[in-house]
Amino acid sequence: MACYIGRLSRTTFKLVSGREGAWVECEAFSRIPWLVHAFSTRDQGKQAALKPRRGAKANAMGNDGWRLVSDLGAGDFQRASLRQTHSSILYSVLPNLGSTTVRYNLSGYASAADKGKPHSPSGDALITKHAGILLGVRVADCLPVLLADRKNRAVAAVHAGWRGALGRVVEKTVGEMRRVFGSRPENLIAALGPSIRSCCYEVGEEVVDAFSGRFAGAEGFFRRSSPDSEAANRRLPLFFAQAPPGHGPEDHPGIYLDLVAVARYQLENAGVPAARIHVADYCTACRTDLFYSYRKEGSFAGRMLAMIGVRPASSR
């Protein structure tokens, strides 16, 4: 099994450098003048040089993708983010008139008359059609999904790890954009950012069981790797490959989850055309030179930020 990298076109995403750092951009999004977006990368600055301390806050390292906002021309945007819990809870975000904060209206209650929650509530997806608000979700292996409605000028940011994907967070977000903004799925563009890919995302049988119970054809989300092909993949030294049965590291086939396949299934199921779904061909666990990876680096791994917003007319 070859690594995910190289199987997809590199032309739809590019790495961009600014004064405050580098980010990954989806070219289909970059062509839309009213849209601002970025998938931040590993902080290459002084934060990255700090050694993690025992007891340090798990995601304290390199947690500030917001540093890129001035490079993106979004320095004066209001920021919206969540306390992420691997749920499928989502909010629509509105400006708080006369204040520098935003309001979060829980899915299903998103009318302008609602009071909304003032501070980052618990949840895993955000939508807005208000200009000047930057939605952000934090990731370090989980899949960030950004959505843009070309006609209605509405956007969404989704944090989709396996639990959120199991709860259909991506599909629910499209449904909520339809309900709240009248978005038509055929007008949506999706950008799936860097995440751990099926080359590296080994999971247990319980994850297969969980998806099989909720998705028809869930087997297509997984790759099973035989001991032989695994050994070949990892180019193990001969003495490992020849370990006695029951004692070698490759005696059990591994199961690998393809989060991109799950997100793609949900987007297409919700009516987003396949040709409008763009996938960044970066595996965070393969490319720790560019990204943080929870699997590779543990709980001290930093977090990247996937951001999206609508530019106010005056700044276009």
By the criterion CB under 5 A, which residues form the site for Zn ion? 197, 199-200, 283, 285-286
Distance of closest approach, residue 200 Cβ to Zn ion, in angstroms: 3
Nearer to Zn ion, 202 or 268 (CB): 202
Nearer to Zn ion, 207 or 307 (CB): 207
Nearer to Zn ion, 68 or 199 (CB): 199
Distance of closest approach, residue 290 Cβ to Zn ion, in angstroms: 12
Question: What b/e string do you get for 88-120 counting C-beta neighbours within 10 Å, with b at 16 or more?
Answer: bbbbbbbbeeeeeebbbbebeebeeeeebeeeb
Sign for the pseudo-dihedral over CA of 291, 258, 158, 38: positive
Alpha-helical segments (H) within 89-204: 162-166, 169-181
Nearer to Zn ion, 93 or 285 (CB): 285
Pairing relationship of beta strands 133-139 and 78-80 according to DSSP bridges:
parallel
Nearer to Zn ion, 37 or 197 (CB): 197
Q: Can you give the length of the chain in residues?
A: 316
Distance of closest approach, residue 195 Cβ to Zn ion, in angstroms: 10
CB 76 within 8 A of CB 115: no
Closest CB to Zn ion belongs to which residue? 283
Whole-angstrom Cα distance, residue 14 to residue 11? 7
Q: Tokens 């990298």, residue?
A: 5
Distance of closest approach, residue 283 Cβ to Zn ion, in angstroms: 3
Distance of closest approach, residue 201 Cβ to Zn ion, in angstroms: 8
Neighbours of 13 (CB within 10 A): 25
